[in-house]
Structure 1
Amino acid sequence: MIDAATQLANVVLQEGASAPAIPPQAAAALAVGLAAFGAGYAERGIGAAAVGAVAEDEDLFVQGLIFTVLPETLVILALVVVFLVG
């Protein structure tokens, strides 16, 4: 059991490896992809609620628009990471 834990620690810490498990560009692309997926998932519920709120009261349009656009900041921050890495 302890031997398996030592091997797992070596894999996680990448001891003895000459290169990282994933290149920096691939990690940045993965970050942007996951951030976009998360933003889309969040906007699914927010968009439905915003459309329902605007249908009942048109004065809530700006507030609904702000809440709908808010998750997109995750993707923008992920793109900043791409430019910092690349």
Structure 2
Amino acid sequence: MAVHKLFIASFLVSLLLLQLAEADQMTLVVGNAGDSSKLPKMDCSRACAARCQLSSRPRLCQRACGTCCARCNCVPPGTSGNLDVCPCYADMTNRGNQRKCP
């Protein structure tokens, strides 16, 4: 009887460990939405220079873009739009509740 209980307990513990390992792997795959710590760092200066190349105020644009890139580790492609590619970048607002990132 004691061997039977030990077998059941070890089986349940192994199932729990398997579930935790699976959940951790899913976090690595899906975790890009808000947590950029698991991704390699992006070259923000190059990405923001490309994003702000047509801006009427390029220094201001690059400063705001650099802040957003550092927080989100993402810059949408192109010189404007494409905000659906990087939701973190698109959702940042300033004090006036206007979009922060160019």
TM-score by length of 1: 0.33
Higher relative contact order (CA 8 A, sep 6+): 1
Q: Give the TM-score, by structure 2 length.
A: 0.29
Answer 1 or 2: which has greater helix percent: 1
Larger Rg: 2
